[in-house]
Amino acid sequence: MATYGGDFRQLREKQRLSQQEIADYLEISQSTISLWESDKSTPQVEYLPKLAEILKVNILELLPKTPIKIEHNTDNKNNLVKGFDITIDGSQLFKDLLDSKDEIIRLQRDEIQRLKGELHS
């Protein structure tokens, strides 16, 4: 069974990058990258745009393949949907992403502005 850390390591090795090179690019310690690859931790949301850039992947490829279960609550009398329960198994990163959607949007806008600046220079 593939793990997030194993998938991350494969992406890194595909680009022939060391853990230290990625750590230097993100301005974090090499041991942090090691924790990601050993499934003891996952990247914080703010690292995803730069990770996607250095690994040359779409940011979606950096998201864990975590099962999400959505159940709807119904009114038994009228069978109307009253609400939803969302269960996310396993990944703190995925939970952080859901909690940080506004931050993700801001990071995407910043990255777009940076890329536009590079095009015009």
**Mean pLDDT on 43-52:** 88
Domains and CATH numbers, the chain: 4-120 (1.10.260.40)
Q: Give the number of other CB atoms < 10 A from CB of residue 88.
A: 15
- Give the pLDDT of residue 82: 52
Q: What is the pLDDT of residue 119?
A: 80
The predicted structure's pLDDT at residue 42? 85
With contact defined as beta carbons under 8 Å apart, do 5 and 36 qualify?
A: yes
Q: Is it the case that residue 24 has pLDDT exceeding 60? A: yes
* Residue 57 DSSP label: S
In angstroms, the CA 50 to CA 54 distance is 6
The dihedral region occupied by 27, where left means phi > 0, alpha psi between -120 and 50, and beta the remainder, is left
Q: Are 15 and 59 in contact (CB under 8 A)?
A: no
- Predicted confidence (pLDDT) per residue in 84-110, tens digit: 555 555 555 656 666 667 777 777 788
User: Per the structure block, which two tokens stand in for 8?
Assistant: 């991350």
Question: Which amino acid is it at 54?
Answer: I
